[in-house]
Chains A and B, each alone.
Chain A
Amino acid sequence: MTPAVSIIDVVKHFGPLRALDGVSLAIAEGEFFGLLGPNGAGKTTLISALAGLVRADCGTLKVMGHDVVGDFRAARRLLGVVPQELVFDPFFNVRETLRIQSGYFGIRRNDDWIDEILANLDLSAKAGVNMRRLSGGMKRRVLVAQALVHKPPVIVLDEPTAGVDVELRQGLWQFIRRLNAEGHTIVLTTHYLEEAEALCKRIALMKEGRIAALDTTANLLAGQPGASLEDVFIRTMHAS
Chain B
Amino acid sequence: MIGFWTLFLKEVLRFWKVAFQTVAAPVLTALLYLLIFSHVLDAHVRVHGVSYTSFLIPGLIMMQVLQNAFANSSSSLIQAKITGSIVFVLLPPISYGAFFAAYVLAALLRGLMVGVGVLLATLWFVELQVAAPGWIIAFVVVSGALFAALGMIAGIWAEKFDQLAAFQNFLIMPLTMLSGVFYSIYTLPDFWRGVSHYNPVFYMIDGFRYGFFGVSDVSPLLSFGVVFACFAGVTLLTLELLRRGWKLRN
A residues touching B (Cβ–Cβ < 8 Å)? 14, 48, 51-55, 72-77, 79, 81, 83, 85, 87-92, 96, 100-108, 146, 150
**Contact status B91-A53, CB under 8 Å:** yes
B residues touching A (Cβ–Cβ < 8 Å)? 2-3, 5-7, 9-10, 13-14, 17, 80, 83-85, 87-95, 245, 249-250
Residues of A within 8 A of B95 (CB): 73
Residues of A within 8 A of B85 (CB): 87-89
**Contact status B92-A104, CB under 8 Å:** yes
**Contact status B91-A76, CB under 8 Å:** yes
Residues of A within 8 A of B80 (CB): 89
Find B3's partner among A51, A89, A106 (CB 8 Å cutoff): A106
How far is it, in angstroms, between the C-alpha of A48 and the C-alpha of B249 when the chains are bound?
9
Count A-B contacts at CB 8 Å: 79
**Contact status A53-B90, CB under 8 Å:** yes
Find A103's partner among B5, B84, B91 (CB 8 Å cutoff): B5
How far is it, in angstroms, between the C-alpha of A92 and the C-alpha of B85 when the chains are bound?
12
Can you name 13 extra interface pairs (CB under 8 A) apart from A91-B17, A104-B88?
Answer: A14-B250, A54-B249, A55-B245, A55-B249, A55-B250, A87-B84, A96-B13, A100-B88, A101-B88, A103-B10, A104-B89, A104-B94, A105-B92
A81 and B91 in contact, given A54-B250, A103-B6, A108-B2 (Cβ under 8 angstroms): yes
**Contact status B10-A105, CB under 8 Å:** no
**Contact status B2-A103, CB under 8 Å:** yes
B6 (CB) vs chain A CBs: closest residue: A103
A55 (CB) vs chain B CBs: closest residue: B249
Residues of B within 8 A of A107 (CB): 2
Residues of B within 8 A of A48 (CB): 250
How far is it, in angstroms, between the C-alpha of A166 and the C-alpha of B84 when the chains are bound?
26
Residues of B within 8 A of A51 (CB): 91
Q: Write the nearest CB–CB distance from B114 to chain A, whole angstroms.
A: 19
Residues of B within 8 A of A73 (CB): 93, 95
How far is it, in angstroms, between the C-alpha of A197 and the C-alpha of B2 when the chains are bound?
40
How far is it, in angstroms, between the C-alpha of A101 and the C-alpha of B89 when the chains are bound?
8
**Contact status A52-B249, CB under 8 Å:** yes
Residues of B within 8 A of A96 (CB): 13
**Contact status B17-A76, CB under 8 Å:** no
Residues of B within 8 A of A52 (CB): 90-91, 249
B248 (CB) vs chain A CBs: closest residue: A53
**Contact status A106-B2, CB under 8 Å:** yes
How far is it, in angstroms, between the C-alpha of A47 and the C-alpha of B91 when the chains are bound?
11
Find B93's partner among A77, A91, A108 (CB 8 Å cutoff): A77
**Shortest Cβ-Cβ A-B pairs, 4 listed:** A103-B6, A87-B84, A104-B92, A73-B93
Q: Write the nearest CB–CB distance from A66 to chain B, whole angstroms.
A: 10
**Contact status A76-B93, CB under 8 Å:** yes
Q: Write the nearest CB–CB distance from A140 to chain B, whole angstroms.
A: 13
- 14 inter-chain pairs at a CB distance below 8 angstroms, sorted by A residue, are A55-B249, A76-B92, A77-B93, A81-B87, A81-B91, A83-B84, A85-B84, A87-B85, A88-B85, A100-B10, A101-B92, A103-B5, A103-B9, A106-B2
How far is it, in angstroms, between the C-alpha of A92 and the C-alpha of B11 when the chains are bound?
11
Residues of A within 8 A of B91 (CB): 51-53, 76, 79, 81
Find B88's partner among A55, A77, A146 (CB 8 Å cutoff): A146
A100 and B14 in contact, given A53-B91, A73-B93 (Cβ under 8 angstroms): no
Q: Write the nearest CB–CB distance from B179 to chain A, whole angstroms.
A: 33
Q: Write the nearest CB–CB distance from B35 to chain A, whole angstroms.
A: 33
How far is it, in angstroms, between the C-alpha of A104 and the C-alpha of B95 when the chains are bound?
10
B7 (CB) vs chain A CBs: closest residue: A104
Which of B83, B87, B92, B245 counts the most A-chain CB atoms under 10 A from its CB? B92
Q: Write the nearest CB–CB distance from A136 to chain B, whole angstroms.
A: 14
Find A104's partner among B3, B83, B84, B250 (CB 8 Å cutoff): B3
How far is it, in angstroms, between the C-alpha of A146 and the C-alpha of B250 when the chains are bound?
23
How far is it, in angstroms, between the C-alpha of A92 and the C-alpha of B6 when the chains are bound?
14
Residues of B within 8 A of A92 (CB): 13
Q: Write the nearest CB–CB distance from A170 to chain B, whole angstroms.
A: 27
